[in-house]
């Protein structure tokens, strides 16, 4: 035997080729015989009395080889989504057939968004799954893949879509801390600040409860997902408070700067300056948490779910709230009515003034 070049008599494939590397980006494959003289293989065939093979007998030419190779051609870049078939799954990770030279490697950490208990049994062999290519080819030509990244992308897309639809969605409470509540929604972790927590009980017994929330802030780039329970319940109850309306609520929180009053699920701030005309040194001495209170709505911010309240305007005489709160509440309605009328009058007056100015301008132009 001279060498491999001899034995590889490609007689059966029916064509003879030049040795060397060819670039076959152009998919035409043509048999080229050495010009003029017999090829080595022809000579060999003659020597041993073997008949030459032709294409019909063999049925496979280099053209077909080329076409078959093109079928399996692939061009995979980082960040691309591919469909792969699981070849083998172990505790460290899984080999996935993505049509490339080397099987892609899916590490166990990247199986799902949450850590998996038994990685070796997570995938059955031969399942087809969609993956994202997480890295460039390494020295062996192997690509690292990730399922987790793809799932996260999808979760964020879903959340953004839900936000645009502006519907209340359900989420599950994970933990409660001083600042607010950590929840799990659509596979992502979100946060409800305490100001938007509404009437959630700040006890650990709440963990695992499903609550309805709306989206406040959705920012995938910064990985921020802020939700609001108040908005969801407010929209559900559709509470509309007009300015000047007298409402009755329960004190839900006492702070140095005022009171938080919960009116039918909507929380409003009764600022210390709005409680009474006279100075109040200590708010907690005046009212305690859980006490009923009547106040008037100054304005309501539906977007933020906040409301400004006041009892100062309900006082007949300045300092009434401090002295006798009950009397103020009793006469609240009449006072409110008078206040509203006053507001109307003011509005009308300012409108007239505005009109005069405008008409004067018109006159001037003319």
Residues found near another protein in the complex (CB under 8 A): 1, 3-5, 7-13, 17, 19-25, 44, 48, 50, 53, 57-60, 62, 65, 68-75, 87-88, 90, 92, 94-95, 97, 100-103, 137, 140-142
Q: How far apart are the first and last CA of the chain?
A: 113
Count Cα atoms within 13 angstroms, Cβ side, for 327.
10
> How far is 70 from 72, CA to CA, in rounded Å?
5
Nearer CB in complex with another protein: 102/160: 102
**DSSP per position, 296-350:** EEEEEETTTTEEEEESGGG-SSTTHHHH-HHHHHHTHHHHHHHHHHHHHHHHHHH
Strands 169-176 and 104-107, by their bridges, are unpaired
Instruction: Please answer whether residues 20 and 32 qualify as being in contact, where contact means their C-beta atoms are separated by less than 8 angstroms.
Output: no
Strands 128-133 and 81-89, by their bridges, are antiparallel
Nearer CB in complex with another protein: 34/202: 34
Nearer CB in complex with another protein: 137/206: 137
**DSSP per position, 210-270:** EEEEEEEEEETTTTEEEEEHHHHHHHHHT----TT-EEEEEEEEEETTEEEEEETTEEEEE
| Smallest separation, CB 13 to another protein (Å) | 5
Nearer CB in complex with another protein: 83/354: 83
Nearer CB in complex with another protein: 74/363: 74
Q: How far is CA 364 from the centre of its chain?
A: 57
Nearer CB in complex with another protein: 24/78: 24
Nearer CB in complex with another protein: 9/265: 9
Query: H or E element: which one contains 36?
Result: none
Instruction: Please answer whether residues 120 and 107 qualify as being in contact, where contact means their C-beta atoms are separated by less than 8 angstroms.
Output: no
| Smallest separation, CB 102 to another protein (Å) | 4
Strands 169-176 and 180-185, by their bridges, are antiparallel
Nearer CB in complex with another protein: 22/348: 22
| Smallest separation, CB 113 to another protein (Å) | 24
Residue 161 burial (10 A CB sphere; 0-12, 13-18, 19+) = exposed
Query: Which residue carries 């997902």 as its tokens?
Result: 225
DSSP state of 194: G
């Amino acid at each position: 035997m001279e060498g491999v070049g001899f034995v590889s008599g490609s007689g059966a494939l029916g064509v003879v080729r030049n040795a060397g590397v060819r670039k076959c980006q152009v998919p035409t494959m043509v048999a080229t015989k050495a010009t003029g003289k017999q090829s080595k293989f022809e000579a060999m065939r003659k020597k041993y009395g073997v008949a030459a093979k032709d294409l019909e007998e063999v049925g496979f030419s280099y053209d077909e080889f080329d076409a078959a190779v093109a079928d399996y051609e692939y061009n995979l870049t980082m960040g691309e989504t591919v469909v792969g078939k699981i070849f083998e799954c172990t505790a460290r990770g899984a080999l996935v057939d993505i049509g490339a030279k080397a099987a892609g490697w899916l590490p166990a950490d990247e199986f799902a968004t949450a850590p998996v208990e038994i990685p070796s049994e997570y995938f059955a062999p031969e399942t087809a799954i969609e993956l994202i290519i997480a890295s460039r080819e390494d020295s062996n030509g192997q690509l690292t893949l990730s399922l987790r990244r793809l799932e996260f992308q999808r979760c964020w897309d879903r959340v953004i879509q839900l936000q645009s639809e502006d519907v209340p969605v359900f989420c599950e409470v994970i933990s409660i801390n001083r600042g607010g509540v950590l929840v799990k929604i659509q596979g992502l972790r979100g946060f409800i600040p305490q100001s938007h927590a509404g009437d959630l009980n700040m006890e650990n017994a709440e963990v695992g409860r499903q609550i309805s929330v709306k989206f406040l802030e959705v920012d995938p780039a910064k990985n921020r997902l802020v939700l609001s329970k108040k908005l969801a319940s407010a929209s559900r109850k559709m509470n509309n408070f007009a300015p000047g309306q007298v409402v009755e609520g329960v004190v839900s929180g006492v702070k140095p700067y005022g009171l938080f009053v919960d009116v039918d699920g909507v929380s409003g701030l009764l600022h210390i300056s709005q409680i009474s005309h006279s100075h109040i040194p200590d708010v907690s001495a005046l009212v305690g948490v859980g006490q009923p209170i009547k106040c008037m709505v100054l304005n309501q911010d539906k977007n933020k779910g906040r409301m400004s309240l006041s009892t100062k305007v309900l006082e007949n005489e300045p300092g009434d709230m401090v002295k006798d709160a009950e009397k103020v509440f009793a006469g609240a309605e009449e006072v409110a009515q008078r206040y509203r009328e006053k507001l109307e009058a003011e509005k009308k007056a300012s409108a007239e003034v505005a009109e005069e100015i405008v008409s004067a301008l018109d006159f001037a132009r003319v």
